[in-house]
Amino acid sequence: MTSIGFEQMAFFKIWKTVSSSDVQCFFSGAFFYRRRVSKSWDEPLVITNELQEDLHLLFGLRSKLRYYRHLLAFYFAIEEINQNPKILPNITLGFHIFDSCSTAIISQCAGLVTLSGKENPVPGYRCHQQGHLTGFIGSLSPMTSNVIARFTGVYRYPQISYGMMDRLFDNRVEFPFFYRIVPNGYSQYQGLIHLLNFFRWNWVGILTSDDDSDQRDTEELKREIIRSGNCVAFVEVIPLLFFMTVKHWITLMAIVDTVSDSLANVIIFYSSTSYLITQICSNSFWRNIEGKVWIISAASSSLANINFRGIISNCKTFSGSLAFTIAKREIPRFKDFLHSIHPSTFPEPSLLQPLWKDAFNCDPLSNLSKCTGQEMLSNLSLLQFDVDNFQFTYSVYTSVYVLAHALHNMYIAKSQLGRDLKQEFQPWQFNQYIKNVHLKSPNGHEIIFDDKGNVPVYYDIVNWVPFTNGTLRSVKVGSFNQPAPEDHQFFLNPSTIVWNPHFNETPRSVCSESCAPGYRKILLPGKPSCCFDCVQCSEGEFSNTSDAENCMKCPEDQWPSERKDQCLPRAIEFLSYNDLLGAALACIAILFSIITAVVLGIFIKYRDTPVVRANNRDLSYILLISLILSFLCPMLFIGHTGRVTCLLRQVSFGIIFTIAISSVLAKSITVLLAFKATKPNSKLSKWVGRRFSSYLVLLCSLGEVMICTTWLLISPPFPGYDTQAKKGKMILQCNEGSTIAFYSLIGYIGFLALLSFMVAFLVRKLPDSFNEAQHITFSMLVFCSVWVSFIPAYLSTKGKYMVAVEIFAILASSAGLLGCIFIPKCYIILLRPELNIKCYLIGKNVSNKAKW
């Protein structure tokens, strides 16, 4: 943890955590130095013997070189600022450093020492302090950061963390003066969700430690995953163990079994400590887990990179894993600085002594195991001491610059007002300047704080790839850049990823396999939304996407394909001339119309014969002509239906049939009147004649014309499609418009037919001269039978067969009239001309043998 400040002429203090979240406590001392305005090394760094021993423990064989790199980057940044005349003129920076040992109580004591004084610190007082304390930098541990942030916040001192990602510090009520250079946890959630969606991994497990911060973040991560539409198979908490007991062993074995048996092939490893990774790699029973893809959180992976030369680099469990890491950056000229330093040229050789002992196994300040003087950090490999790409090291470097620029801006503002910053400095005033800091590095990296003290989010996505010797190396395969436009935030190159050898292709991690197009999901009771069954879409519905929640109905003119994954145009069905049924009905209609025309020709040719003249030949002509037209009416019912045909079809049939039935009725009434008129003193003789029968036909037909006219004016028939009658087909038909009008038309014809039947039936036993009444009776019986059976048949059929039923009724009833009324007369005219005489018709002098 680091504190920053200044003294009257030029002084700057810093208190910094050098240890990470590793469990060892490396250092529990403190050191301090001061610089003059001249910026020359005129006073050595004062380090006591006790402090040297602590430093030796800190940077001994158990320490890691990269922690030392943080300290050197910290020192390098201060030196750059002190040598830059454009930043803080006449002010020199200095620092205090304390190690927290990742322990809250040590962190708190160190903070009090910084705030109050080295000896007997008293809260609220500053003793033996030079200059003014301005701020704190640190740390990597959530526990120590929390402690320092809370009690320094009481004094309103800013704290800048170079490695703390815990979302707890987003709370500006509890931590109003906390800032961080690394991304917060929530931004990582978004990156993780982008990664899951990219590979369509919707069934994942989560492993975390028993640290309060880790468990809090894990619950939030779980909520975000579920909110994104994905599911969490399990959340397992692994205790941070230093000593294995039987109880711990049973707990860990249960966790291993859960992970191994789960259908989730993707495991998110979310922890703020790298020790948990070390624990997994060191325990042999974790190695039995195969076929899993590990996604390592940024805190764990970035800290693990620090120790990549250790046990983690040989951990096959994480082979092929993906990890989020803090984006690597370059620090200009820092590489040259690292390669140039040497204890002999460094202002305080004892500061680098532990580093040389750890790196080169020699002591530059001792006669025992004396170094040759040729040992340089440039001799170390990149795996030992990376000097090109930095993560936390860059964050430490940037943190110093943020505080320095904020202090510079505050100094300029005070100077312009003619005030002395050294006398009027207050820490709460300093916070406003930190909020307004806006830095931009040469490589384009921006540092600007939002209202929660967070900076723009940049993550690298790396793949832990095994070397041929079995060790792991991290290879960048993607990135997550939150400030970019939404469609450019996430980038991943899957072709560069080397998966776990268990997988031959990109792994899948789902609870249920995707529902193919044509199916929809049914959620299983008591299961997450990612666990479901697939059922095919219902009739008339389709789904053209995978994992469809619901099926959609096709448009009216379309029907689902056989797989129900798309809609196809419906087949249009109608009674056409190409159909066998339509062609047969058309041929029958034409044949009967020709026969009727022949009969009409016969009646015209033999119009003066007694048979033709016997029962009003004009009515016979009208009836025959109407029958010809009736036989031709089906032509309006066959073929593609249009608006005109729909208007003419039923109307023409109704009017023509009405004329035919009216003619039959007129014939029947004429027979009845003729018989009654032959009686003495009968007054009906004046009604017998052509004019009466013509008027009767016209009057009866006028009623049908009125019905049809009203129908056409109010609700006329129109062409339409019936999409319900048959699956996958669209029946082209005429919508009757008004069913009342249609059945009124049929009913009126039926009424006239029934009336004709009744009249004909009354006169059926008249003398032979009027025997046509018998034929009319039979014809009306046929007619009524056909149309009575037509109604239920018509209502029970659909599509083109409904039209065929109506055509059949028209043809059958017309044929009944033709056959019963005119065929006997034609028989006499053509085959028995000897009977076509007046004497036969009046029943005189004709033998019974001659009768038929």
Rounded CA separation 423/178 (Å): 25
What confidence tens digit (pLDDT) does each residue in 130-140 have?
667 788 887 77
Give bridge partners of residue 542 from the DSSP assignment: 552
Confidence band for 554, pLDDT divided at 50, 70 and 90: confident
The upper half-sphere exposure of residue 519, i.e. CA atoms within 13 Å in the direction of its Cβ, equals 12
What confidence tens digit (pLDDT) does each residue in 237-257 have?
988 766 667 787 888 889 989
* Listed residue (128, 142, 67) closest to 97, CA to CA: 67
The mean pLDDT of 431-447, rounded to a whole number, is: 85
- Helices 800-817 and 617-632: angle between axes, nearest 10 degrees: 160
The mean pLDDT of 676-689, rounded to a whole number, is: 54
In this prediction, residue 12 carries a pLDDT of: 38
2 SS3 class: strand
In this prediction, residue 851 carries a pLDDT of: 39
In this prediction, residue 615 carries a pLDDT of: 66
In this prediction, residue 760 carries a pLDDT of: 79
Asked whether the CA dihedral 493, 495, 497, 503 is positive or negative, the reply is positive
Q: Are 137 and 399 in contact (CB under 8 A)?
A: yes
Q: Are 500 and 355 in contact (CB under 8 A)?
A: no
What confidence tens digit (pLDDT) does each residue in 301-317 have?
766 554 444 445 557 78
Return the exposure string of 631-654: e unless at least 16 CB atoms fall within 10 Å of the residue's CB, then b.
Answer: bbbbbbbbeebeeebbbebbbbbb
Please count the helices (runs of H) and the strands (runs of E) in the chain: 24, 25
Q: Are 330 and 389 in contact (CB under 8 A)?
A: yes
Rounded CA separation 674/685 (Å): 7
Straight-line distance from the first to the last Cα atom of the chain, in angstroms, rounded to the nearest whole number: 132
In this prediction, residue 543 carries a pLDDT of: 93
What confidence tens digit (pLDDT) does each residue in 572-587 have?
888 888 889 889 999 9
Confidence band for 425, pLDDT divided at 50, 70 and 90: confident
How many residues are recorded in the chain? 852
The CATH superfamily assigned to 580-847 is Rhodopsin 7-helix transmembrane proteins (1.20.1070.10)
Q: Read off the amino acid at residue 362.
A: C
The CATH superfamily assigned to 2-183+391-448 is Response regulator (3.40.50.2300)
Q: Name the residue with higher pLDDT: 631 or 777.
A: 631
Confidence band for 15, pLDDT divided at 50, 70 and 90: very low
φ, ψ of residue 387 in degrees (nearest 5): -120, 15
What confidence tens digit (pLDDT) does each residue in 143-161 have?
788 888 888 888 888 999 8
* Listed residue (314, 265, 316, 260) closest to 287, CA to CA: 316
Rounded CA separation 364/343 (Å): 7
Least confident of 97-106, 364-373, 794-803, 828-837: 97-106
**Average per-residue pLDDT for the chain:** 79
What is the value of pTM for the model shown? 0.65
In this prediction, residue 57 carries a pLDDT of: 36
Least confident of 18-22, 73-77, 287-291, 708-712: 18-22
* Listed residue (146, 121, 126) closest to 136, CA to CA: 146
Inform me whether the pLDDT recorded for 772 exceeds 60: yes
Inform me whether the pLDDT recorded for 570 exceeds 60: yes
In this prediction, residue 768 carries a pLDDT of: 52
In this prediction, residue 689 carries a pLDDT of: 56
The CATH superfamily assigned to 185-328+457-496 is Response regulator (3.40.50.2300)
In this prediction, residue 274 carries a pLDDT of: 67
Confidence band for 677, pLDDT divided at 50, 70 and 90: low
Q: CB neighbours of 279 closer than 8 A, spacing ≥ 6? A: 238, 240, 241
How many of the other CB atoms lie within 10 Å of CB of 720? 16
Residue spans of the domains in the chain: they are: 2-183+391-448, 185-328+457-496, 519-569, 580-847
Domains 2-183+391-448 and 580-847 alike in fold:
no
Q: Read off the amino acid at residue 135.
A: G
> Could you give the percent of the chain with pLDDT greater than 70?
83
How many of the other CB atoms lie within 10 Å of CB of 763? 23
In this prediction, residue 592 carries a pLDDT of: 93
